[in-house]
Structure 1
Amino acid sequence: MRLRHFTISFAIVIFASCSVFRHTGKRGLLIESNKKALPAKFVTAIPFVQFTGGVIIVRAKINDDPDTLNFILDTGSGGISLDSTTCVQLGLKSHPSNEFIRGIGGIRPLFFAGDNTLVLPGLRIDSLNFHISNYDFISSVYGVKIDGIIGYSFLKRYIVSVNYDSMKLYVYTPGHFKYGRGGELLHPFIHNIPVINEPIWNRKAVHTRYYFDMGAGLCLMLSDKFAKDSCLFCKPNQRRHKFVKSEAQGLTGKIEMTQTVIQGLKVGKYYFHHVPTYLFDDVSNVTAYPFLGGLIGNDLLRRFNVTLNYPEDQIYIEPNAHFFDPFDYSYTGMAMYFIDGHVMITDVTKDSPAYKAGVKPGDAVLGINTNFSNNIQEYREQLKATGSRVHLIISRDGVVQDIRLPIKSIL
């Protein structure tokens, strides 16, 4: 079975993001790449917006079509892809292949729409082969239409600096590049998707490899096998951990997960403490365990301005204005999606805060407290206030109800 192109990023339904951390190192010498090459040349600056979990959305067009589309920028994507409905609307022809997409929820055959052009502000990228997939579930997570994912097929051609302070992508041609001072230059292994080797600790330190996944709306995800074999949660006399059930919607299906917190994670010279973590059963072997232990997602990585230099197998990270943003440990136990114009509760975990408060699958969320925007991302932000009780206004069988929902913490 051939498994060349694959994407491992996914959208977490019940988000648990990040906390405080410290860093080492002082502002030092200028960090540069490939001094013998010609200087990298600036190409364009591309504005972006951020969705829940730090996920980056850029606007682009396909070929000469006038419609502007929403794309996720994703280092966890081994190519470039387009939503199947968008493909039909644009009149593109797709063809089956002998390749497959491997995702968190399983494996599916790939269809391609070949030799197309991606049009970004100030940049046209020709000769792209889009793989075609159904992204309805991603659209339902964020409440807006997601038309595609931009990954390796774009990133391998340029140096791309992601600046969360200016909310822009700065694109350069490959060559000699001056990164800056005081940050950290990582040297990942890049074969479609960057992989970094970093220590994690939970009473004891364990080294493993992770996907560097800027398309994943979480901080850290570990495979159950890695957690078990490394005994991260089983050392005698360690403090008691909370483990709560959750779910995630991957590119190829929905899976159950467990949320918890690990004591620490190091990325380069930067230390993160009490990191919200998802544990999952890697049934489709996305992590190719024991090659990888899991992935580091963008709710952690968004705290750095990141320069992706795939041509030199380098990633430069430097703390930005979000460096000291607290982690989010909130937990309600309910899954929300935007479906047919409504924010819907699709699943409630047994014995969770939402379950005990009387929330049921099929409830339509009309508002939270005084917010009746019907904006699922704004609602998720309001559900991060751990230790509080919110007014969850729902409609059930045509009857409006006000449910007092407690927001618990996984810490």
Structure 2
Amino acid sequence: MPSGVSAQEALDSIPFELGGDSRVYIRCRVNESDTLRFLFDSGATDMVVNTQSEKVVRHLNFNEKGFNYGASGGNAVPVSTGNSFCAGGIRTDDLKFIGVPYPPEFWDGVVGLSFMKNFTVRLDYDRRMIYLYRPGTYKPDRRAVCLQIGYEMGVPVVPVKVCVNGTYYDLRLEVDLGSDRVLDLNTPFVRKQKLLGSQQPFAISRISSSDANTGELQNVYFDEIVMGSLRLPRIPGAFSTVTEGVQASDKMDGVMGNNLLQRFHLTFDFANGCLYLEPNNLLYKPFYSFLIF
């Protein structure tokens, strides 16, 4: 069990793989399927199946229509209701899945908030384990930093202070385990603060999201990120120029991806509205290999 919470009893534990893309993956089953590989994603409101993965779609009946919002846009999607989902020793019934046509080699589906919010969810990156606790029973380590969770567009956002070009900003940032990014500032915030052109980008990134739309990010350096008592200097981040989707929204100021989040053991205490962070052994892992000199 994780340090500091060994006296607590988890309902279940699920091993995870930390991919080369800095994302979290688990093994699971849907209805009567064989073992599947799912992305674990706090930035997804719903459970998702990859409609290009025959391993999973043959076990579902798409009986409704819905709409999916991604980082860079939105689109209509098929919906399947009344499904079961098994991971570790936990089985959840009557779940809704939306269908998204990811490339077949990506993953078979996505574990979203409609599953996670049934529990207090702890990710231990040293042990590569997800621990599920009964809501309201988790007792955090006394050294853990608590960030209050709010919601915008159905996804969790937390308060973070970010210093850019010598100026500190109090921001509300999405917590997105499904993103392979570090910290991207949304287009409306970038425009309001006139940040485009304030730094020479060290790289330009093209992003795509679950809605199949794409967008451009200008990768730059932030002076510092402050999360409670935790301070990280000289962090590679990005200015968004995306004009559709979550990263074009003024409902939040930006998005923290798992290239940043993986550096902390994370506990999502949804019942009490708190995200707990504890630095782990990945704290000083390089953000990008091409930035190592």
Give the deviation of 1:111 after TM superposition: 1.2
Give the deviation of 1:325 after TM superposition: 2.0
Q: Which residue of 2 aligns with 1:42?
A: 10
Q: Which residue of 2 aligns with 1:307?
A: 267
Give the deviation of 1:291 after TM superposition: 2.4
Tell me which of 272, 280, 286 is aligned to 1:320: 280
Letter of the 1:273 partner, please give it.
P
Confirm or deny: 8 A CA contact 1:201 1:232 kept in the other structure.
no
Kindly report which structure 2 residues correspond to 1:326-345, keeping only aligned pairs within 5 A, or say none: 326-328=286-288, 330=290
Q: Which residue of 1 aligns with 2:178?
A: 215
Kindly report which structure 2 residues correspond to 1:23-38, keeping only aligned pairs within 5 A, or say none: none
Confirm or deny: 8 A CA contact 2:161 2:168 kept in the other structure.
yes
**Residues 316 and 276 of structure 1: is their aligned pair in 2 closer, same or farther, counting only changes over 3 Å?**
same
Q: Which residue of 2 aligns with 1:247?
A: 206
Q: Which residue of 1 aligns with 2:132?
A: 171
Runs of 5+ unmatched residues, structure 1: 1-29, 32-38, 331-383, 388-411
Which is worse superposed, 182-191 or 204-213?
182-191
Bigger Cα Rg: 1
Q: Which residue of 2 aligns with 1:402?
A: none
Q: Which residue of 2 aligns with 1:109?
A: 76
Confirm or deny: 8 A CA contact 1:40 1:173 kept in the other structure.
no
Distance, in Å, in 2 between the alignment partners of 1:233 and 1:255 is: 15
CA RMSD of aligned residues (A): 2.4
Give the deviation of 1:243 after TM superposition: 4.6
Kindly report which structure 2 residues correspond to 1:87-126, keeping only aligned pairs within 5 A, or say none: 89-97=57-65, 99-126=66-93
TM-score normalized by structure 1? 0.64
**Residues 145 and 199 of structure 1: is their aligned pair in 2 closer, same or farther, counting only changes over 3 Å?**
closer
Aligned-partner SS, 1:42:
coil
Runs of 5+ unmatched residues, structure 2: none
Q: Which residue of 2 aligns with 1:357?
A: none
Give the deviation of 1:311 after TM superposition: 1.9
* Alignment of 1:127 onto 2:94: yes
Distance, in Å, in 1 between the alignment partners of 2:201 and 2:132 is: 43
TM-score normalized by structure 2? 0.89
**After TM superposition, which residue ranges in structure 1, 4 or more long, deviate above 6 angstroms?**
none
Distance, in Å, in 1 between the alignment partners of 2:257 and 2:57 is: 32
* Alignment of 1:273 onto 2:233: yes
Aligned-partner SS, 1:52:
coil
Q: Which residue of 2 aligns with 1:146?
A: 107
Give the deviation of 1:62 after TM superposition: 0.8
The count of corresponding residues between Structure 1 and Structure 2 is 285
Confirm or deny: 8 A CA contact 1:276 1:329 kept in the other structure.
no
Aligned-partner SS, 2:115:
helix
Distance, in Å, in 2 between the alignment partners of 1:190 and 1:157 is: 16
Q: Which residue of 2 aligns with 1:200?
A: 162
Aligned-partner SS, 2:271:
helix
Q: Which residue of 1 aligns with 2:31?
A: 63
**Residues 105 and 185 of structure 1: is their aligned pair in 2 closer, same or farther, counting only changes over 3 Å?**
closer
